[in-house]
Amino acid sequence: MNTNDFSKCDVGTKLWDHVRGCEGTVDRNEINENEIIVKSNGNGYWFRKLQDPIKQTLFFSKPEIIAPPEPPRLPDYSDGEWVAVWDNCSHGPCIRQFKSFLENRRVNTTDRFSNSCTWDNHCALAELPEVLAKWGEK
């Protein structure tokens, strides 16, 4: 837990500045509510202590930043490419020609009569055996 309380730092206390990407040590015990003097690579810096944790740049050790997972990407279907499509209530996938992506990752296709249809789920034909195997597990 990071308390953001640098008032208890003594000379020699190690701190990490995330903006500069380096570690430093408290150089002098001149700490007030807004600033702390930290020596890094032989140079003195003023690191501002911010009360807002969103803007915090000074830490007691190097913080570990964990990015959220990347959102799933839409496949690179080509216009007219044959894809497997199905709705959530379908008994199984059918093969249609890809036309476009719609909102919420839905797929718009054309059928043999050039009618336009919208589908909840889709996959490339190469992925169809894996999809059907999972379907059989349900």
86 and 44 in a single domain? The answer is: no
Residue 25 lies in a domain: yes
Residue 76 lies in a domain: no
Instruction: Evaluate whether 39 touches 29 at the Cβ level (below 8 Å).
Output: no
Place of tokens 């701190």: 15
Number of domains the chain contains? 2
Residue 70 lies in a domain: no
Which tens digit of pLDDT belongs to each residue from 32-60? 666 777 777 666 666 665 555 567 778 88
Residue 71 lies in a domain: no
Residue 55 lies in a domain: yes
Which tens digit of pLDDT belongs to each residue from 80-114? 999 999 988 767 788 999 999 998 889 999 877 76
Residue 22 lies in a domain: yes
Residue 106 lies in a domain: yes
For the chain, what is the radius of gyration of the CA atoms? 28
3-class DSSP assignment, residue 36 = strand
55 and 86 in a single domain? The answer is: no
89 and 125 in a single domain? The answer is: yes
Q: Supply the range of the domain harboring residue 129.
A: 82-137
Full strand arrangement of the beta sheet holding 107-110: 116-119, 107-110, 94-101, 82-86, 121-124
- Copy the structure tokens of residue 138: 């349900």
Which tens digit of pLDDT belongs to each residue from 20-29? 788 888 876 5
Residue 77 lies in a domain: no
- pTM score, two decimals? 0.51
